[in-house]
Amino acid sequence: FGALAAALVAERAGLPGTSPESILAAQHKLHARRVLEQVAPEANLRFSPLLAEYGEPIPEGLDYPCYVKPVKAAFSVLARRVESRAELQRHTRFGRRELWVIRHLVEPFERVCRSRLPQAGPSHRMLLEEPVLPQVAQYNLDGWVFGGQVHALGVVDAVMMPGTQAFMRWEVPSRLGGDVQARALDVARRFLHSIGFRHGFFNMEFFHDAASDRLSVIEFNPRMASQFGDLYRRVLG
């Protein structure tokens, strides 16, 4: 919520910043997928909204396994791979206390989104995505935009705890080939231009499958990844 609050304050105060609409477009995960499908479909994962309210029966006919996540969340909360309809039903059957927390956390974002980016649709929903094989490596592209021009700060390799989705460490300089890093920056440039992101840091999380050479965007964060600022400073100066 800090990036959205900062954009709203900058707009009100006439300070340098990017538009609140661009922040909303990046943070609304379903809308971001739709934008990416238009501007960089080769880097998008298959996706669809989960057409069920919290706790409602899961529709029949979905493809499994799949990766489920909230349309608006933080720190991968409630995001996980599910193997079956029964598992997805259990994952989305929240108790009264959980629903209270979910709705109160998302509602401030939803109120701004309804007034500034209504085409994105409701934020109180879940998103289904194509799962990626556990052995596919994950990376982070960090950069900044100034005057509408996109610049790369660097790429960080994410090293996971074996057999988990938990990060063990980050490595920079990246071992990823320069050609793939250039492709990632090109995807970021197209996406950021499309949503009107013209000023500030950004972080693009992505997969790269070395076997197929496929690059797939996980998500865009309209801010710098805070854990990398110190890492870049120590390595790059």
- Cross-strand partners of 137: 208
pTM of the model: 0.93
- In sequence order, the 6+-apart residues with CB closer than 8 A to the CB of 47 are 30, 33, 127, 128, 129, 130
Cα dihedral value 67, 185, 187, 144, nearest 10: 90
pLDDT of residue 130: 96
| Alpha carbon 150 to chain centroid, angstroms | 18
**Cα 55 to Cα 155: distance, rounded to the nearest angstrom:** 39
pLDDT, averaged per 10 consecutive residues of the chain (237 residues), comes to 95 96 98 98 97 88 94 78 94 82 86 97 94 91 96 95 84 96 98 97 97 97 89 89
Furthest-apart CA pair in the chain: how many Å? Answer: 54
Residue 113 CB neighbours (<10 A):
27
pLDDT of residue 76: 67
| Contact predicate 81/156, CB 8 Å | no
pLDDT of residue 117: 98
Q: For residue 169, what are its two tokens?
A: 């460490």
**Cα 200 to Cα 197: distance, rounded to the nearest angstrom:** 8
The pLDDT tens digits of the residues spanning 172-192 come to: 999 999 999 999 999 999 999
pLDDT of residue 135: 83
